[in-house]
């Protein structure tokens, strides 16, 4: 927030203002007449204006439907603005703590979905005490350390939805394990699902096709809906020998964070619903996966970020 003055018909007026970036990259200045209001009140009014501008843009450019209704889009956009507002205001120490907590929770839940047996306490010890857990497979420790590095780069907006970064994420994830980095060289299968994944010789082509689809549609489809469809398509390609689920979930949050939305967590307790949604996508129906990620976005925001904001006050 900053202040400026303007003369109108010989009278000088003071304004509180803030520049905001709309989803298409356009920068817009929001203003209110300054009459000595407390800073907190000015911040609140400008935040409400920013929410309104974001919602107006979204409703004008992305079609609401029976999943992403106008009411759902309103909640998504308001949470986005609130998230951006809070992380701008909190101290560097609090921001680091917030991202550390998110990284630990996301890493624990995402790895647990793939069968990693480390508890959340174990994950915290591995991540922040640089230790191995006695009696646990050493690969689980490497999975955790590697995932932490990837998530930290995601929340700081260090990846793009580009082939080199998809490959970089996978290489970071499998470092020090017995998994080969890069695209698969032999066919693989998804346990419990009847879908046939992309054969090795076509992986590069299909990944490039998916990335082209993203570039064409990111300005036409809401980013959370894009993330759901992208995830379903990516998991159907299954481009790597191992680590496809985790890389796919990393990419969901890369899409969200790059488009200025808070990231989400898929919890191990939601594994059956998650797999069911992916299977439905395999059968040509994206709705269940869209609903699933919309719910995970809302849950993560209300049960993780909003609770954190509460204790900052």
- Enumerate the domain spans of the chain: 1-46, 92-298+308-312
Lowest mean pLDDT segment, chosen from 54-58, 148-152, 251-255, 280-284: 54-58
Residue range 44-54, pLDDT digits in tens: 888 888 888 88
Confidence of residue 238 (pLDDT cuts 50, 70, 90): very high
pTM over 0.85: yes
pLDDT at 98: 92
CB 133 within 8 A of CB 111: no
Confidence of residue 233 (pLDDT cuts 50, 70, 90): very high
Torsion sign (Cα): 6, 11, 14, 19: negative
pLDDT at 20: 83
Give 3-state DSSP helix, strand, coil % of the chain, rounded to 5: 60, 10, 30
Count of other CB atoms within 10 angstroms of residue 235: 22
Give the 3-state secondary structure of residue 48: helix
CA atoms within 13 A on the CB side of 181: 15
pLDDT at 136: 83
Confidence of residue 32 (pLDDT cuts 50, 70, 90): confident
pLDDT at 130: 79
Confidence of residue 30 (pLDDT cuts 50, 70, 90): confident
- In angstroms, the first-to-last Cα distance of the chain is 20
Residue range 244-276, pLDDT digits in tens: 999 999 999 999 999 999 999 999 999 999 999
Confidence of residue 185 (pLDDT cuts 50, 70, 90): very high
Q: Is the pLDDT of residue 301 over 90?
A: yes
Q: How many helices (H) and strands (E) does the chain have?
A: 12, 3
Cα-Cα-Cα-Cα torsion 52, 220, 166, 276, nearest 10 degrees, comes to 90
Confidence of residue 223 (pLDDT cuts 50, 70, 90): very high
Confidence of residue 313 (pLDDT cuts 50, 70, 90): low
Q: Going by C-beta distance under 8 Å and a sequence separation of 6 or more, which residues neighbour residue 145?
A: 126, 127
Query: Mean pLDDT for the chain?
Result: 91
- Residue with more model confidence, 45 or 226: 226
Confidence of residue 159 (pLDDT cuts 50, 70, 90): very high
The one-character DSSP state at 303 is: I
pLDDT at 180: 93
Confidence of residue 210 (pLDDT cuts 50, 70, 90): very high
Q: Going by C-beta distance under 8 Å and a sequence separation of 6 or more, which residues neighbour residue 40?
A: none
Share of the chain above pLDDT 90, in %: 62
Say which CATH topology domain 92-298+308-312 has: Fic-like fold (1.10.3290)
pLDDT at 74: 93
Confidence of residue 230 (pLDDT cuts 50, 70, 90): very high
In this prediction, residues 273-287 reach a mean pLDDT of 95
Q: Is the pLDDT of residue 27 over 80?
A: yes
- Is residue 24 exposed (0-12), middle (13-18) or buried (19+ Cβ within 10 Å)? exposed
CB 278 within 8 A of CB 234: no
Q: Is the pLDDT of residue 311 over 80?
A: no
């Amino acid at each position: 927030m900053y202040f400026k003055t303007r003369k109108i018909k010989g009278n000088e007026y003071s304004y509180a203002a803030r520049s905001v970036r709309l989803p298409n990259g356009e920068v817009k200045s929001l203003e209110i007449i300054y009459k000595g209001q407390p800073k907190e009140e000015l911040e609140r009014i400008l935040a409400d204006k920013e929410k309104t501008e974001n919602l107006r843009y979204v409703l004008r450019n992305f079609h609401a439907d029976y999943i992403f209704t106008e009411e759902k889009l309103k909640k998504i956009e308001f949470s986005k603005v609130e998230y951006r507002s809070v992380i701008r205001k909190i101290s560097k120490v609090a921001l680091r703590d917030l991202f550390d907590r998110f990284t630990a929770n996301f890493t624990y839940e995402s790895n647990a979905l793939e069968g990693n047996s480390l508890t959340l306490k174990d994950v915290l010890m591995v991540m922040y005490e640089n230790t191995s857990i006695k009696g646990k497979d050493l690969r689980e420790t490497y999975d955790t350390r590697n995932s932490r590095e990837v998530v930290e780069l995601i929340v700081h907006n260090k990846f793009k939805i580009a082939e080199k970064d998809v490959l970089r994420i996978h290489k970071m994830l499998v470092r020090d394990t017995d998994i080969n980095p890069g695209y698969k060289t032999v066919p693989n299968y998804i346990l419990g699902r009847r879908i046939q994944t992309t054969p090795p010789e076509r992986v590069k082509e299909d990944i490039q096709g998916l990335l082209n689809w993203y570039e064409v549609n990111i300005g036409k489809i809401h980013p959370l809906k894009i993330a759901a469809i992208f995830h379903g398509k990516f998991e159907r390609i299954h481009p790597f020998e191992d680590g496809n689920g985790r890389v796919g979930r990393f990419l969901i949050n890369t899409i969200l964070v790059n488009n200025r939305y808070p990231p989400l967590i898929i919890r191990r307790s939601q594994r059956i619903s998650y797999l069911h949604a992916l299977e439905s996508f395999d059968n040509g129906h994206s709705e269940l996966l869209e609903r699933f990620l919309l719910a995970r976005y809302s849950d993560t925001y209300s049960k993780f970020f909003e609770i954190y904001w509460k204790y900052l006050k």
